[in-house]
Structure 1
Amino acid sequence: MATSSSPENIRRTRILSSKLYFDVPPSKVPVIYSSVYNIAFFGIEKLHPFDSSKWGRICQFLVSEGVLDKKCITEPEEASKEDLLVVHSEKYLDSLQNSLTVAKIMEVPPVAMLPNCIVQRKALYPFRKQVGGSVLAAKLAKERGWAINVGGGFHHCSADKGGGFCAYADISICIHFAFVQLKVSRVMIIDLDAHQGNGHEIDFAKDKRVYILDVYNSEIYPGDYNARRFINQKVEVLSGTTTDVYLKTVDDALEVARRSFDPELVVYNAGTDILDGDPLGRLMISPDGVIERDEKVFTFAREKGIPILMLTSGGYMKSSARVIADSIINLSRKQLIDMSGTQGTAGTGGQI
């Protein structure tokens, strides 16, 4: 029997005392975003190919298209240190007080020369806000059937190690919150980012409550062969894979997953670095292919009657934001998500 000071009980206490879960009024839709998500400090962020203003531009497109009223967007809380300790070790969180460590994780060397207070405010605070968004997305998905965090998906970060622009393990954290707060006992991660999701694979290596389907380019970062041992359904594709081949691969993978596991929650890591021309993903998927991929995953969840939360994850071209927005619009048109809430005319002013 676990004692009150056991790791599991300490984790449970942290989760139950967290402020990341809160009641969201019906007037808000389960699209989670904050202007804090966007990273900008002195132009240094442009030294990494990631579009660190992608998240805001997604919402701008949705608002300008009249699909989303900015007043109906749900804003999350920032993950506190106690929230992060649900998964992360004290040692790892302490290491982020060193700007060099953060520079290596973000793959932007000049960050190492900045005072850590600036790094915390300009980079890690936005990441912590996105962690809060991923955690809240699980609660909203359970209540509404779906949720989209317009951010998150930091799938290269595990409890003790960050990397690949991922400083916090938001996927692992949000799942542990769901275990405790939502009484969920089976979760499926569908990771369709171009890169292997080695972070959550390490974190749930021996946890049979979590089933991982990962479709990734095996020829690119992170090449984590140890983590690959813990993927329940490993689907490797090669650089140059085209849209038709990729979509057939996803179809086949979802069919295997449907027969293999009966989840109570789906966490969908919907990276757009599969797009043709993405400098890091090296696949050749068209914008329409990305939209169709997302529709397939949401249809999979709908047909099984399972709540689904979507995270936007990787995507290293300016065109990614437009494609993500178009995909969300398509999901709405196909009635796989309901963007109406109790909203009126879409607003156009204010900061996104």
Structure 2
Amino acid sequence: MLKIAYSPIYIYELPDGHRFPMEKYELIPAQLLHEGTVSQENFFHPTALNDEEILLTHTAEYLDKLKTQNLSRKEIRAIGFPMSSKLIERGRYIANGTLQCARYAIKHGVAMNIAGGTHHSFADHGEGFCIYNDIAIASNILLKEGVFNKILIVDLDVHQGNGTAKIFENEPRVFTFSLHGAKNYPLRKDQSDLDIGLEDNTTDELYLSTLKDTLPKLIEQVKPQIVFYLSGVDILETDKLGRLSVSIEGCKERDRFVLQTCRDLNLPLCISMGGGYSPAIRHIIEAHANTFRLANDIFF
């Protein structure tokens, strides 16, 4: 059965009452339930990570600043959200959702977090709407437990995963791969193990050919025991922050290829949703829903 991490705490209303893009975390499960792709039985509510688990990835100083709400104005601006204790607590649940999904993926082949993909979070600070780095936290916990000794992170969000790259720059057991917009945020990109930057307005053909030429060779080279997949839909041509020109069908084919490749190779696959900022929320929901539909079809 496809297991999906979701909790009402994922929905967070900002102090000004604004919820975008967080409203997608409510609408995606509603759509999947409405169309019958999943049932309530597919969802599980993650618990919150404890400090010890977070400190395997993030520094004690940074965690203390978050807990005491003592970030500087500059640090708050870099994150992009007005800070609150509820927002910080929310991040603990989302990050543990990814960890628990990894454990489910070992059992069932794939598992998915409605949220996550917070790849701009560094060990000692947050950026770009990212506070805790969920994939890095999950990876470090699994490495410490000895569950795996080789992990591949496939980051296909339109923005380069700078925080993840930096966290694992000296960790040979984790290979970071980012396929992203070359001229998009972040302006200064930390070096992943493999970075491929695409030019503005890249369309389906080049995007998909690049991915299909790269991923199988990379898996053969790295020989991972699990794949963490950041499936951001901000690659869409409709995305106001993306700058690429991939269609919804192209985005769906991207997901199909990643999922089918992992299924064929019997590689556990843990998926975090990442970004999506199209002005019409229906485009975001449809593109994300496709990832869940494909996971259900390919693995179950």
TM-score after normalising by structure 1: 0.79
Q: Does 1:195 align with 2:173?
A: no
Separation in 2, partners of 1:182, 1:275: 38
Superposed structure 1 runs of 4+ greater than 4 Å apart: none
Task: In structure 1, list runs of 5 or more residues that go unmatched.
Answer: 1-27, 339-352
Residue 80 (structure 2) pairs with residue 107 (structure 1)? yes
1:252 aligned onto 2:213: yes
1:41 shift after superposition: 3.0
- One-letter code aligned to 1:37: Y
Instruction: Find the aligned partners of 1:308 and 1:327 in 2 and give their Cα distance.
Output: 12
Aligned equivalents of 1:272, 1:101: Cα separation in 2:
28
Contact 2:110 2:295 in 1 (8 A): no
**What is the aligned counterpart of 1:55 among 18, 25, 49?**
25
Question: Does residue 120 of the first structure (1) align with residue 85 of the second (2)?
Answer: yes
Q: Is the 8 A contact 2:2 2:110 kept in 1?
A: no
In structure 2, give the amino acid aligned to 1:301.
Answer: C
Q: Identity of aligned pairs, percent?
A: 29
What amino acid sits opposite 2:80 in the alignment? E
Change (3 A) 1:142 1:33: same
Aligned to 2:6: 33
CA distance in 2, matches of 1:292, 1:93: 39
AA paired with 1:120?
A: S
Residue deviations 1:158-213 (CA, integer Å, cap 9, x gap): 11121000000111110012113352000000000001001111111011111122
List per-residue Cα deviations over 1:188-239 (Å, max 9, x = no partner): 00000001001111111011111122101110111234x22xx222211011
- Of 73-82 and 152-161, more deviation after overlay is shown by 73-82
Please identify, of 125-134 and 260-269, the stretch whose mean Cα deviation from structure 2 is larger: 125-134
CA distance in 2: counterparts of 1:214 and 1:107, whole angstroms: 22
Q: Which residue of 2 aligns with 1:146?
A: 110
Equivalent residues of 2:75, 2:125 under 8 A apart:
no
Match of 1:94 among 48, 51, 64: 64
What SS is found at the alignment partner of 2:205?
helix
CA distance in 2, matches of 1:103, 1:320: 27
Normalised to the residue count of structure 2, the TM-score between the two structures is 0.92
Aligned partners of 2:255 and 2:294 also within 8 Å: no
Asked if the contact 1:95/1:101 (under 8 Å) is kept, the reply is no
Distance in 2 separating the partners of 1:305 and 1:233: 23
**C-alpha distance after superposition, 1:18-46 (max 9, x if no partner):** xxxxxxxxxx7411111111121344545
Which residue is 2:257 aligned to?
296
Distance 1:179 1:258 in 2: 19
- Equivalent residues in 2 for 1:224-239, closer than 5 Å: 224-225=188-189, 227-228=190-191, 231-239=192-200
In structure 2, distance between residues paired with 1:41 and 1:222: 24
Q: Distance in 1 between matches of 2:174 and 2:111?
A: 19
2:172 to 194, 202, 208: 208
The residue type paired with residue 89 of structure 1 is T
1:177 aligns with one of 141, 152, 172: 141
CA distance in 2, matches of 1:262, 1:314: 27
- Paired residues of 1:139 and 1:182 also in contact (CA < 8 A): no
Aligned to 2:225: 264
Structure possessing the higher radius of gyration over alpha carbons? 1
Distance 2:244 2:70 in 1: 35
- Equivalent-residue separation in structure 2 for 1:337 and 1:106 (angstroms): 36
Is the 8 Å Cα contact of residues 157 and 163 (structure 1) preserved in structure 2? yes
Q: Which runs of 5+ in 2 are unaligned?
A: none
State the aligned residue count. 294
Residue 337 in 1 paired to residue 265 in 2?
no
How far does the alpha carbon of each residue in 1:284-324 deviate from its partner, in whole angstroms, 9 at most, with x for none? 11111111101111111112211010000111122212211
Kindly report the root-mean-square deviation, in angstroms, between the aligned alpha carbons of the 2 structures.
Answer: 1.8
